[in-house]
Structure 1
Amino acid sequence: MSLNPLSVIFNKNQLVEENYVDWKRNLNIVLTAEKYKFVLDEVCPEAPKDDSTKSQKTAYEKWHHSDEMACCYILASMSNVLQQKHQNMETAFDIMESLQEMFGHQSR
């Protein structure tokens, strides 16, 4: 199995407590390149109803797929202890909010 070349960044930059600032910068690079970063900034579209348009359904599906991928990148790039703490969170945004609370005080 071949890994995405961008994910190799995380092999050397796995999140551990003292490197949050560097890790977040690398995460943003990967999520931007993969076009998943928007899920950290945009609210999930409303769940489609029976009478929703195709574009509404597509937007909802795109957001959810991108959020799942962002969660995978985030979780795969952190220590096992942090993975266990965050693996059951609903969205990538929720994970990042939790990490910000834990490590956001760090600065360069």
Structure 2
Amino acid sequence: MSSFNPLTLILNQNKLEGPNYVDWKKNLDIVLTAKGYKFVITEEFPEKPDEDATDDQVKAYDKWVKTYEMVRYYILASMANVLQHQHKSMGCAYDMLESLKEMFGEQNRAAKQTAIGPCSEDDGSFDELEVLGAVIDKESQVEMVLQTLPDSFQQFYLNNNMNKMNLSLVKLLNVLQAVESIIKQQAPVVTLNFEKA
């Protein structure tokens, strides 16, 4: 009798097929983090212990190798059959991930451009950029949001700069929601008359 594992279900239901690389990578990161396996793709492979290594060192190395193999299998199992066939001969999980990143790199650059557009924490754009390898500090995130504001927020942008408001991203988004509701209330009502010719 097989046991139900919601983590592997995530990968099974969202197999990598190419265009869904960003979502697949997010899901893979979630599963590997939850399982406690993500360290093997972010850290260097340890050197094999010497003959005079302690039992603890040998056990730690063996655990690392076993975890690395599990990550490799998770990656392979979460790919479409064609991609699986292309990558199964790669012994290294890191090399697989780099190969996939290279294969879908063009779409990732386009995805970065799209995500940088109207960025906000609410729509997940910053998370998407992080998955694509971008590191964006909090101040830059705030500035990106400010730069993408529509013209109707011009007065807010001016006030923000003149008063040197130093808002966190969350506070900025809350203030922007309040400003948006004020702008909507102040917007003049426009009526259009259409006459048939």
* TM-score exceeds 0.5: yes
Contact 2:12/2:77 (<8 A) preserved: no
| Offset from partner CA, 1:38-75 (integer Å, 9 cap, x none) | 01011111112211122221221111111111011110
- Measure the CA separation in 1 of the matches of 2:65 and 2:7: 21
Partner AA of 1:98 in structure 2: S
- Measure the CA separation in 2 of the matches of 1:18 and 1:31: 21
Structure 2 length as normaliser, TM-score?
Answer: 0.52
Per-residue deviation, 1:3 = 4.5
The change in CA–CA distance for 1:97 and 1:3 in structure 2 (over 3 A counts) is farther
- Measure the CA separation in 2 of the matches of 1:65 and 1:101: 26
Contact 2:90/2:96 (<8 A) preserved: yes
1:80 and 2:81 matched: yes
What residue in structure 2 maps to residue 50 of structure 1? 51
Is the radius of gyration larger for structure 1 or structure 2? 2
Secondary structure of 2:47's counterpart equals coil
Identity %: 55
1:13-92 equivalences in 2 (<5 Å): 13-92=14-93
Secondary structure of 1:18's counterpart equals coil
| Offset from partner CA, 1:14-44 (integer Å, 9 cap, x none) | 1001000000000000000001110101111
Partner AA of 2:37 in structure 1: Y
Partner AA of 1:104 in structure 2: G
Per-residue deviation, 1:11 = 2.5
Structure 1 length as normaliser, TM-score?
Answer: 0.92
Unpaired runs of at least 5, structure 1: none
Contact 2:41/2:93 (<8 A) preserved: yes
Secondary structure of 2:20's counterpart equals helix
Root mean square deviation, CA, Å: 1.3
Higher relative contact order (CA 8 A, sep 6+): 1
The change in CA–CA distance for 1:3 and 1:94 in structure 2 (over 3 A counts) is farther
- Measure the CA separation in 1 of the matches of 2:77 and 2:4: 12
1:92-107 equivalences in 2 (<5 Å): 92-105=93-106, 106=108, 107=111
Secondary structure of 1:29's counterpart equals helix
